[in-house]
Amino acid sequence: MATLELKQITKSFDDTHVIKGVDLEVNDREFVVFVGPSGCGKSTLMRMIAGLESATSGDILIDGQRMNEVGPADRGLAMVFQSYALYPHMTVEDNMGFSMRLAGVSKDKRREKVLEAAKILQLEPLLDRKPKALSGGQRQRVAIGRAIVRNPSIFLFDEPLSNLDAALRVQMRIELARLHEELDATMIYVTHDQIEAMTMADKIVVLQGGEVEQVGSPMGLYHHPRNRFVAGFIGSPKMNFIAVEQVSSDAEGVTIKLPGGETRQVPIDGSGHAGGGALELGVRPEHLVLDEQGPMEGRIQVLERLGGQTSLYVQMGDSLLTIMADGDVAYRVNDSVRFGFSSDRAHLFDAEGLSLPKLHRHPLAGLRRQDNRAPSDTVGQ
């Protein structure tokens, strides 16, 4: 059992307000990812949970107990640092056993626990090495091993994969997800990489400028972003934004006028947006469709062929749109293309950047990562 609750947490350095009142609940055994652009306060928030930084105001509760005044070692947490922060003068075994050595655990007991963790992470042949003699991925695993040995109620990961190369990052991502299953622990993970957030999280917390923009499941954020920032941040490549005009709105949805002059109806609730007038249409690159009868037209500026898919960068008026198309499309740079969009998947944003609610909730919007397992696994849950 380990839950975490943040109540109106703020943090200021002199006159700079880094965190401006964050409320958050993390459930037992949940994998929560803090994601946001650099400087959004996600690392500071994690350091406050860890106890390495004090909160200016607000409460940090672990299992219902207020922890603000408790030291980092006594909160029952373990942290994996971005730089790994291994002790360079100690062997892998001593690195992993350091917390137990400080706690006065006997040498045999220490070795037993270290071996146990080393086995999970396949570190056994490396126990006598110093960190200097390890590769980046191995160091990363030692850092995780050092955390496992402490048997924490909550694991904290501070951008743990950002120093690894792309291939290793994918591999470690899978390994971390597997570890989460195996250890059955609560994990909080900080990253600026939305792919890591999408692939690993049960719950994503999107932060910007020291405030929580939205909390939700990966598919929930993807299909129902609360505002333009979340919409642009989650999903890769980035969502396209097209200026449109509202023509009318009824129970079937909102009718909008597209840049070419044609109108379309999207299944979005326009009742809250009474004023009519200017709106922004948000469509993800994978939901823009090449179509000779399509309502919009643009000129191809750049064409990136990835094999299975082709990214088209299309200039339409002032905006450069991204279209994900089939790998074998026959277009060339400077060709003019017509395209449409799947209206079910479209988003509308008002002048403040808030999204208008959709008429139907996406069936997968509440999906947690565990729910991807086959039904037989989840029987009895």
Partner 1 sequence: MTTAKNQTVARAPAAPATRSALASALLNRRLWLGVLGWTLALVIFFPIFWMIVTGFKTEAEAIADPSLIFSPTLENYAEVQSRAGYAKFALNSVVVAFGSTLLALLIAIPAAYSMAFLPTKRTKGTLLWMLSTKMLPPVGVLVPIYLLFRDTGLLDTRTGLVIVYTLMNLPIVVWMLYTFFKDMPKDILEAGRMDGAGTLQEVIYLLLPLTLPGIASTGLLAVILSWNEAFWSLNLTSSQAAPLTAYIASFSSPEGLFWAKLSAASTMAIAPILIFGWLTQKQMVRGLTFGAVK
Residues that bind partner 1 (CB under 8 A): 50, 52, 71-74, 77-79, 81-83, 85-89, 98-99, 102-103, 146, 150
Cα separation, 330 vs 239, whole angstroms: 24
State the nearest-atom distance from the C-beta of 296 to partner 1, in Å: 50
Cα separation, 192 vs 40, whole angstroms: 10
Q: Are strands 203-208 and 31-35 parallel, antiparallel or unpaired?
A: parallel
Reference 19, options 57, 51, 60; nearest CA is 57
**DSSP sequence for 259-309:** TTS-EEEESB--TT-TT-EEEEEEE-GGGEEE-TT-SEEEEEEEEEE-SSE
**b/e map of 223-254 (b: 16 or more CB within 10 Å)?**
bbbbbbbbbebbbeeebbbbebebeebeeebb
Among residues 103 and 174, whose Cβ is nearest to partner 1? Answer: 103
Helix (H) or strand (E) holding 230: helix 228-233
State the nearest-atom distance from the C-beta of 197 to partner 1, in Å: 23
Q: Are strands 296-305 and 336-341 parallel, antiparallel or unpaired?
A: antiparallel
State the nearest-atom distance from the C-beta of 13 to partner 1, in Å: 13
Among residues 191 and 214, whose Cβ is nearest to partner 1? Answer: 191
Amino acid sitting at position 191: T
Cis, peptide link before residue 285, omega less than 30° from 0? no
State the nearest-atom distance from the C-beta of 122 to partner 1, in Å: 22
- Chain centroid to Cα 339, Å, comes to 30
Among residues 101 and 119, whose Cβ is nearest to partner 1? Answer: 101
Among residues 98 and 331, whose Cβ is nearest to partner 1? Answer: 98
State the nearest-atom distance from the C-beta of 50 to partner 1, in Å: 7
Among residues 96 and 121, whose Cβ is nearest to partner 1? Answer: 96
State the nearest-atom distance from the C-beta of 189 to partner 1, in Å: 16
Among residues 183 and 367, whose Cβ is nearest to partner 1? Answer: 183
Cα separation, 275 vs 89, whole angstroms: 67
Among residues 18 and 78, whose Cβ is nearest to partner 1? Answer: 78
Q: What are phi and psi of 235, to 5 degrees?
A: 100, 140
State the nearest-atom distance from the C-beta of 144 to partner 1, in Å: 13
State the nearest-atom distance from the C-beta of 51 to partner 1, in Å: 8
Reference 61, options 103, 101, 8; nearest CA is 8
Among residues 159 and 350, whose Cβ is nearest to partner 1? Answer: 159
